């Protein structure tokens, strides 16, 4: 192990994440894969990252990563953000793997808000950082009752909550972390990814692991697994899309676009996925 403490500024003599911690996360991750969508408890460790910035995702990444990996880390859709760059360097310093920004070449991708636009393959693993893993928290605060509801597949109150939202607002307003059923059995929150990215989890080629550090939970969506947003039959699931919007850099209209301030006061849009946008510009 190299001088991780220099990079992290903390961590103790065994570095930021010792072998025993890795083993525990590995066992939890295997159980999570075997019970798709179930939130497997694990003994989360204190990590040298800011609260809310991915200690759960970081622990999963550190349990997975090896010297042969090419690691991509994105914050929103950006590789270049300060948080993403710091986290990437932290892991690279820990294990000696390669830094990567090109989605196509990455073997391991850690993200919080987005799933890359470029479809992921079977040889790539996505780690999502989860601030709030429990989808039932919106309708039930008692943790034991949440566990009972998951155990008995009793999601009636979640449906009631969605219905009330619909009646009140005319649409289901939930955007990030839209509740989904995994393999027809477990309700999950797919973390703050937009609705736009939810279909990328359904029958995917890649494995997705979700890590929640504060709540000490790991859950998984294996490849080739059904992921279905909770929707009423007569109200179709719709992803975010603004008619007429196009990326001002690459012209994309089908990517996930975010609004940016522009000098003349008009609304401008850019791709949230900067790697995709860069390559899309080269194609044009």
48 binds, among Zn ion, another protein, none (CB under 5 to 8 A by kind): none
Query: Which residues have C-beta within 8 Å of that of residue 130, sequence separation ≥ 6?
Result: 56, 57, 189, 191, 210, 211, 212, 215, 217
Q: Is 140 among the residues that bind another protein (CB under 8 A)?
A: no
Give the one residue of 2, 10, 41, 160 binding another protein; rule: CB under 8 A: 41
Nearer to Zn ion, 47 or 250 (CB): 250
* Shortest separation between residue 205's beta carbon and another protein, angstroms: 9
Q: Is 127 among the residues that bind another protein (CB under 8 A)?
A: no
Is 97 part of the annotated catalytic residue set? no
Q: Is 63 among the residues that bind another protein (CB under 8 A)?
A: yes
132 — phi, psi (to 5°)? -135, 100
Among residues 11, 37, 77, 93, the one annotated as catalytic is 37
170 binds, among Zn ion, another protein, none (CB under 5 to 8 A by kind): none
Do 133 and 210 contact (CB within 8 A), yes or no?
yes
Is 37 part of the annotated catalytic residue set? yes
Is 43 part of the annotated catalytic residue set? no
d(CA 253, CA 270): 10
Sheet holding 125-129, edge to edge: 40-41, 217-221, 207-212, 125-129, 108-111, 70-74, 98-99
3-state secondary structure of 200: helix
Q: Is 143 among the residues that bind another protein (CB under 8 A)?
A: no
Is 213 part of the annotated catalytic residue set? no
Q: What is the DSSP letter of 46?
A: P
Give the one residue of 12, 14, 105, 122 binding another protein; rule: CB under 8 A: 122
Task: Give the rounded distance of the alpha carbon of 211 from its chain centre.
Answer: 8
Count of C-beta atoms within a 10 Å radius of residue 196: 20
Is 247 part of the annotated catalytic residue set? yes
Give the one residue of 3, 152, 265, 283 binding another protein; rule: CB under 8 A: 152
Largest CA distance in the chain: 58
149 — phi, psi (to 5°)? -60, -40
Nearer to another protein, 41 or 52 (CB): 41
Nearer to another protein, 226 or 279 (CB): 226
Strands 108-111 and 125-129: parallel
d(CA 158, CA 161): 5
Letters for 219-238 (x = contact with another protein by CB under 8 A, - = none) are -x-xxxx-------------
Dihedral (Cα; 26, 45, 207, 277), 10-degree rounding: -150
Nearer to Zn ion, 188 or 271 (CB): 271
Give the catalytic positions in this structure: 37, 247, 250, 271, 277
Interface ranges with another protein (CB under 8 A): 19-20, 22-24, 26-31, 33-36, 38, 40-41, 63-68, 122, 125, 147-148, 151-152, 183, 185-186, 203, 207, 220, 222-225
């Amino acid at each position: 192990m190299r001088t991780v403490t220099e990079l992290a500024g903390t961590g103790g003599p065994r570095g930021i994440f010792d072998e025993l911690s890795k083993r525990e996360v590995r066992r939890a991750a295997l159980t999570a894969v075997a019970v798709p969508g179930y939130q497997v408890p694990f003994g989360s460790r204190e990590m040298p990252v800011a609260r809310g910035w991915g200690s759960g995702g970081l622990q999963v990444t550190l349990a997975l990563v090896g010297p042969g990996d090419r690691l991509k880390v994105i914050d929103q859709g950006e590789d270049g953000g300060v948080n993403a760059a710091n986290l990437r360097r932290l892991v690279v310093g820990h294990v000696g793997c390669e830094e990567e920004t090109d989605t196509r070449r990455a073997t391991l991708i850690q993200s919080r808000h987005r799933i890359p636009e470029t479809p992921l393959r079977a040889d790539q693993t996505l780690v999502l950082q989860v601030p709030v893993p429990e989808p039932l928290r919106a309708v039930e605060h008692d943790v034991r009752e949440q566990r009972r509801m998951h155990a008995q597949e009793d999601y009636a109150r979640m449906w009631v909550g969605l219905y009330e939202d619909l009646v009140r607002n005319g649409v289901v307003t939930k955007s990030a972390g839209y509740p989904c059923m995994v393999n027809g059995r477990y309700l999950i929150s797919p973390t703050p990814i937009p609705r736009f990215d939810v279909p990328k989890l359904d029958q995917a080629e890649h494995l997705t692991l979700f890590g929640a550090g504060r709540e000490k939970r790991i859950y998984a969506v294996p490849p080739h697994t059904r992921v279905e947003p909770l929707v009423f039959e007569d109200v179709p699931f719709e992803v975010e899309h603004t008619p007429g919007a196009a990326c001002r850099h690459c012209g994309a209209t089908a990517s996930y676009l975010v609004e940016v301030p522009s000098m003349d006061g008009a609304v401008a849009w850019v791709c949230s996925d900067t790697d995709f946008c860069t390559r899309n510009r080269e194609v044009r």
